[in-house]
Structure 1
């Protein structure tokens, strides 16, 4: 839980979907779900067919839908067995009528990994509505987008499109042209994992915090694998990229990089510190923001720590766990508690 991911679908020379998900996105969670789906030729054929019945909305409309569903979840107005975003995304299908249909017109866009099933059963009468993949493009790639819908103004950009104001009910995939787009044109590094389904080449590529894939599978391989073999093949490929399997940092910095004054404090430590974080109040592993990671891509320690999921603890006034750490290798400094910087430096642990 707490592992973010996105699914990208490429078909007939175009990116057709970019669906994000914030729970259990790792290779044994969402990765296994995708494996089971793509290991069936019947389902991949249905996926191609269903993509012809996919329509699109804007990121703002998606945000409104997600907010409304969150409100209904909190009130308990949805199905009895759906009380969290995790269960909503995994249990949601369009097979049988339910209160989910009444939640929001754009509920499909919030369906997480269930999007594969939804697309595969889509028809002209029962279309699937997703966020147009152009809204997930990088700032650089956004400059190359072509806005060709008849109601778009000549000066349109991805940030000023208001479909409701323009009275555009749904977009088609070609209303915003993403010419020559590749994986580098999407913010896939914002997610822990990214899954690239290429229906033209019949391949699945798995990315983890980077633009270079960790592993690539053909659909033929997926059909011959068991789930355990699928996961094992991924772990083996990841191990080959880091044969020593040994992180070399000596000091870990607790706390995430965000846009505030503490970022500079973090970076002022001669770049001898990396950044670790926690999800849902639980310590996880050494990470940094995607933007910062790209700027400091040469630091192997970041990759090593992420690959090995190095456990950490989070310092706070109510948590003394950090006192029991091996200080030489696991010193923590949290941006919220600036005096920890002086404590580390004065103890000569660098």
Structure 2
């Protein structure tokens, strides 16, 4: 049985501690989040608010320019627009709740709300894994089969790939969420995290959870490791093809079209795999929170910057949009 850490009155309001004295079944959870930093609550609220605005603005800008600029009507930018939409949805599952908890100091969350947050978080995380694999496949076709690229990556196929990425994870992760919340939670309801995630929730379960942990590893392998293997296979072919290009300029141009996507893959998979695939004995609440910040908040914030600064076509489209906006304003 997992015992709750002792919290001082300054760290936790009396009404938020919902450990039932007369009933061993937990009715709601308490997301401890950053309650161990009472003097930084205002600072954290400002920082997270700025990050959320940057994420919304940056990804929305990419969506707008990829739809509005005729020069960006290509499969690569169609996938990028969907990726930016995904990032907005992904961060909106967790960050508004974090801001609400910091602002109100009310950290309680019902089991249903917690399950809903976890389910959407897992579905969108699966979508991100699949979409990153689709984007790698697109780059593979563009570089390794340039003559067939327009024929193979036609609009109908692009839509099918996007639909598959968005929908494939839904049944798997609904089942995963139901399995996690079929566990019996007793005596402790304090989640040492800033959102409902699998590792800290399983820690609160009574009895043997080894079968559920094995199930989590299997699902993670299926929805994350398989797309990652496809990404690696695509880039093995891509790098092999680029190195055979006759000119340095050609090789540099080919590498530049892949570098943004590759950096996004490293940021997302690096932090997520350290969170979910580490041995149970190596888990700590502080480290889990730090790693989770990277793939839930930091990566969605940096992705628009990564794709904008390393892509000349995107930069040109942004300049064109800004000039157009300024002309309309002053005329």
TM-score, normalized by the shorter chain, greater than 0.5: no
Bigger RCO of structures 1 and 2 (CA < 8 A, at least 6 apart): 2
- With structure 2 as the length reference, what TM-score do the two structures score? 0.23
Structure having the larger proportion of residues in strand: 1
TM-score by length of 1: 0.23
